[in-house]
Amino acid sequence: MGLLGLDNLVFFASEHTEVARHVLSHSLHPEYGYSFAIVGINLTSLLYHLLVKGKLKSHIFNAVAERPQVEDFHKAYSYIFFEFDKFWLAEKPTDIMEFNRIRDKFEDKLVQMLEKDDCVFKLNVAVKKV
């Protein structure tokens, strides 16, 4: 997962710079912070396993008009990282040791979304600069 995880992080930071900065700033939160890179690698693993299990089929079918490319995986990863960040903060973990519990809960949410025929993971957000 290391190189693919790095590729995903580079794509997220270069293609969605403001969103990635926003997520990075949340990862530095004094109470609810987390290791940005380690969470990124874990999310790469999560997404990869969803792909291998065939659970990403509905998203890929709806989001990709032609043959899927690695960039399509990166786009799904960017969406998932942004959504995980929101999910993590909403859970208000007591510490990083709650990561596995929250990750599993997030995976369940993703699987429920993927079970819908019209599922599309699309990062379409505007980050306000304050």
Would 126 be classed as within a structural domain? no
**How far, in Å, CA of 83 to CA of 122, rounded?**
11
Would 55 be classed as within a structural domain? yes
Q: Is residue 96 part of a domain?
A: yes
- Residue 120 in domain: no
Burial class of residue 118 (count of CB atoms within 10 Å of its CB; 0-12, 13-18, 19+): exposed
Residues 77, 120: Cα–Cα separation, whole Å: 12
**Domain housing 24:** 2-114
- Per-residue confidence in pLDDT tens, the chain, 130 aa: 789 999 999 999 999 999 999 999 999 999 999 999 999 999 999 999 998 998 887 777 677 778 878 888 899 999 999 999 999 999 999 999 999 999 999 999 999 988 887 777 776 665 555 4
124 found inside a domain: no
